[in-house]
Structure 1
Amino acid sequence: MSWYPRVLYDGHGEISDVCLKRKIRNRLQDMGEEIFVQEDSRIDDGYRSLKERILNFDDFKNEYRNKKPDFKKIYDSTCKKWIDIRTFGQVFPFKGAGNNLSTNVRGCMSLWGATSLDVIDVQEIISIKSTNLNETEKGRKDSASFFHRYMVHKAAYVTYGSIYCQLAEKNNFTEEDAEKIHQALITLFEGDAAAMRPAGTMNVQKVYWWKHNCKTGQYPQIKVFKTLDIQPQKEYPFFTVTETPLPDLTPEVYTL
């Protein structure tokens, strides 16, 4: 099966926030971080489900058995163990010891889905598949079959995000964690190649990384985002950026 790329009602392409978070988790895992929500093909602790993984975590398991679970302990210990929980949050809707044990961690990082700057051109590619796994009644191999694959010919996508300092402190999310997220964004598509997105065809062109000098932020998020006027263009890299910096808030800029 080949999935059709996400297209919004107006023809613009979309990469969901869930997809982006999956790629960030994979990059963090490549950095040696413990990840709670692991991809099936990348499981590194032997647990095949989230329930199995959490119930084999001693701090959770002990509270799971209590009639009066210590929800704060669950919150703190799960944040401490898994970077994706303290970053993106997690819900634990399980039943234990005759009581409903349902608690959640609110992630400190907010991430938008990425949207293309222009209407996308989705190309359909028809391929021939022949596995020769079985023989027919007449002793012949399986016949070849056609299947359809889809790819976006060319497009530039933009996403925005932020880290909420008050929740970061509550979740024990550190400056070192933030820098790992920064690096994960820069290398987002490393190790993510597939048939319809060969190595090098998808890449991060620019990352703007702002650091405020106070916990509440020097400026509202939307005002910071609007310092970048991002417009589509026909030639590679398919976008232009006009910057209007705010006083005393200069971003660190990565450019491919």
Structure 2
Amino acid sequence: MLNNKIDFIVTVTVNNANPNGDPLAGNMPRTDSKGFGEISDVCIKRKIRNRMQDQGYSIFVQSRDRIDDEKNSLEERYTDAIGAKVTDEAAEKEANEKWLDVRSFGQVITYNSKSIGIRGPVSIGIAKSLDPIEITSMQITRSTNGMKPKGDKTRSSDTMGTKHFVEFGTYIIYGAVNCFYAEKTGFSKKDLAVIKESLRTLFINDSSSARPEGSMEVKDIYWFTHSSKIGDVSSAKIKSLISYNSDNSMKSTYEDYAMGLNEEKLNEYKQLGLQVEHFAGI
């Protein structure tokens, strides 16, 4: 059982990669209306789920290329594990006990004529870049025919395409763990340790053509443990602790930001019982 509220801040660097493509914009890196880069909370949770699965835990929302139980839909996975003839309370209890991602993030279950909303204790916001990002677009060609030519016609092998990426950017992820929702789902200290390790190793086994190996890296993790279930200060005040070089100079490395915490505010919050742990990603 968790008796202490948790907040965490994670900084991530992107080097010549597309951290999260927007399908409505030709898969270009996501940006807000002011040009700041974004990584959706859904994308971050997907990576955490993958790391949970790598650590040997049962996951309900599995990625298509990571299915480990031959179930090709959530409905099939749910029905096979829990069945149709159970009460809503029993279904919720079994789902929380069986799948780590359900008792962590929650889940809406609408299978077998049910409508169950499970609210998970782990909340993660949309990651934002510290500065507006510059998106580079590169024209690419293919050196082979993708389709067999019809009849005597020949087909050009230089089919054109476009690849979009961020040359450099630093993003910040904010998250928290609610003790009261943890009690309802059965989220434990052991589960919390899995979340912590998943954040530390967030980009292990995550490489792709859009995110080559080593192009995304977790740099710093600030882990805040409150002295009570409700928290010593609000999560909004925890977010305001992050401190960095915000001048208008062009930044090309993580060190240019001089990332850290506001020591004056942090000492004030420590007097209220807040504890902070600082460690690096892998």
Scaled by the length of structure 2, the TM-score of the pair is 0.82
Partner of 1:73: 90
Deviations 1:86-140 (CA, angstroms, capped at 9, x unpaired): 11111112344xxxx2111111111101000001010101110144341342264
Q: Is the 8 A contact 1:134 1:142 kept in 2?
A: no
The 4+ residue runs of structure 1 with deviation greater than 6 A are none
| Mean Cα deviation higher: 228-237 or 72-81 | 228-237
Q: Structure 2: 5+ residue runs without aligned partners?
A: 1-22
Listed as ranges, the gaps of 5+ residues in structure 1 are 64-69
Q: What's the secondary structure of 1:252's corresponding residue?
A: strand
Give the aligned partner of residue 184 of structure 2.
170
Matches within 5 A, 1:89-128: 89-96=106-113, 101-128=114-141
Aligned to 1:223: 237
Deviation at residue 254 of structure 1 after TM alignment: 1.4
Structure 1: distance between partners of 2:74 and 2:238: 37
Instruction: State the alpha-carbon separation in 2 of the partners of residues 131 and 102 from structure 1.
Output: 50
Aligned letter for 1:88?
F
Q: Partners in 2 of 1:17 and 1:170 — Cα distance?
A: 22
Residue 136 of structure 1 contacts residue 142 of structure 1 at CA under 8 Å; is this kept in 2?
no
Deviation at 1:84, TM superposition (A): 0.5
Q: In structure 1, what is the equivalent of residue 162 of structure 2?
A: 148
- Structure 2 residue 277 is the aligned partner of structure 1 residue 249: no
**For each residue in 1:193-226, what CA deviation from the matched residue of structure 2 results, as whole angstroms up to 9, or x when unmatched?**
1122211110111111111221111221112222
Greater CA drift, 8-17 or 192-201: 192-201
Q: TM-score, normalised by structure 1?
A: 0.90
| CA deviation vs aligned residue, 1:161-194 (integer Å, no higher than 9, x gap) | 1000011011110101111101111111111111
Q: Distance in 2 between matches of 1:254 and 1:242?
A: 12
Count of residue correspondences: 245
| Match status 1:187 vs 2:201 | yes
2:65 to 23, 36, 41: 41
How far, CA to CA, are the matches of 2:83 and 2:240 in structure 1? Answer: 43
The answer to whether structure 1 residue 51 and structure 2 residue 69 are counterparts is no
Partner residue of 1:86 out of 103, 106, 125:
103
- Kindly indicate whether residue 50 of structure 2 is the aligned counterpart of residue 26 of structure 1: yes
Could you tell me whether the CA contact under 8 Å between 1:88 and 1:108 is conserved in 2?
yes
CA distance in 2, matches of 1:251, 1:181: 17
Q: Quick check: 1:61 aligned with 2:84?
A: yes
